[in-house]
């Protein structure tokens, strides 16, 4: 295994590594490979944002469903808790949606 220097942080790394283990600089010289890697990273990031927005939505629906169907009438503690959870869910969902929008706008 031959060693080479990372062009970014100048640390010694294997010449077979695709990515510098120190600074995560991509060692792939092939622009097509770089583009693919970039696209994979974007897909990963956008799918994690989508997952978060779904989790927020599930919290919201779950909290709302609990507070309207399962909790006792009146203001019981679990009803308040369910509504707080629904509120957090809605907030989380909206934040994720905004991040997705901003993320899509930043891409080309
Ligand atoms: Zn490096």
- Note the pLDDT tens digit of each residue in 41-85: 999 999 999 999 999 999 999 999 988 877 666 678 888 889 999
Residues 62 and 25: their CA atoms lie apart, in Å, by: 42
Q: How much distance in Å is there from the Cα of 6 to the middle of ligand 1? A: 5
Give residue 31's pLDDT band: very low, low, confident or very high (50, 70, 90): confident
Residue 19 near residue 3, CB atoms below 8 Å = no
Around Cβ 49, how many Cβ atoms within 10 Å?
20
Share of the chain above pLDDT 90, in %: 44
Judged against a pLDDT cut of 70, whether residue 108 lies above it is answered with no
HEC string for the chain: CCEEECCCCCCEEECCCCECCCCCCECCCCHHHHHHHHHHHHHHHHHHHHHHHHHHHHHHHHHHHHHHHHCCCCCCHHHHHHHHHHHHHHHHHHHHHHHHHHHHHHCC
Rounded to the nearest angstrom, the distance between the alpha carbon of 18 and the centre of ligand 1 is: 11
Please provide the average confidence, as pLDDT, over all residues in the chain: 87
**What pLDDT does residue 90 have?**
96
What is residue 53's predicted lDDT score, i.e. its pLDDT? 96
Compute the distance from residue 26 Cα to the ligand 1 centre, in Å.
8
* Residue 98 CA to ligand 1 centre (angstroms): 33
pLDDT at 18: 81
Residue 84 structure tokens: 């707080």
The rounded Å distance from CA 28 to ligand 1 centre is 13
């Amino acid at each position: 295994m031959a060693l080479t220097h990372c062009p970014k942080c100048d640390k010694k790394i294997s010449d077979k590594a695709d990515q510098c283990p120190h600074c995560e600089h991509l060692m792939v010289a092939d622009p097509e490979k770089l583009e693919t890697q970039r696209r994979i990273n974007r897909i990963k990031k956008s799918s994690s944002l989508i997952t978060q927005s779904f989790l927020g939505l599930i919290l919201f629906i779950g909290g709302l469903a609990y507070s309207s169907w399962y909790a006792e009438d009146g203001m019981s503690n679990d009803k308040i808790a369910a509504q707080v959870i629904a509120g957090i869910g809605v907030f989380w969902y909206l934040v994720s949606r905004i991040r997705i929008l901003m993320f899509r706008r930043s891409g080309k």
